[in-house]
Amino acid sequence: MNTPASSSQRQWLPEGDGPPRVIVCEHSGRWAVALGRQLGPSGPRVHQTRSLAECWEMLAGATASFVIVEATRANLQTLLDRIAQSGRQFPLARVGVVADRGLAAAEWVLREAGAVHFAVSPRRLGPLAQVAHRHMAQVPRPKQTFTQQVWAELPWG
């Protein structure tokens, strides 16, 4: 039987941290649209950014987010550095990588840096969406006041 954990057993997000997000960093929008379809209408909302700097800035405000970044030949080294640092800087966040098939050989280097998933086709994002769903279900919740806790545990939405 699943019973809610007591306040002392719950893990909380850092003070002042925003709720976790699904953040997609890309230029075209095709990965975000495809991921949104896979996550479904009841899934988490996809937040789009256009640069690594903007993406990491959004991540700094919601440190338990799931980030999907498009790897390109132009950003590959910077992306590797960011992913490697994200484990220390944002230990509750996870990073998935999407790329064109021409960068498929970079998959294992990106995974070694800390990427939790790698995809090369917008039509095959089901496994990435599953990883995102699982992450979002397991992340700690924002710290709440007693009143917020009571409202959150009421049986209606």
Question: Does the predicted model carry a pTM greater than 0.95?
Answer: no
pLDDT in tens, 73-98: 999 999 999 999 999 999 999 999 99
41 neighbors 117 (Cβ within 8 angstroms): no
Contacts of 154 (CB under 8 A, 6+ apart): none
Q: What is the pLDDT of residue 21?
A: 93
User: How high does pLDDT run on average in the chain?
Assistant: 87
Q: What is the pLDDT of residue 6?
A: 40
In which residue are the tokens 């995809």 written?
119
pLDDT beyond 80 at 154 = no
Stretch among 58-67, 88-97, 139-148 having the lowest mean pLDDT: 139-148
Domains within the chain, CATH numbers bracketed: 23-137 (3.40.50.2300)
* Mean pLDDT (whole number) for 4-24: 65
In which residue are the tokens 């990588």 written?
97
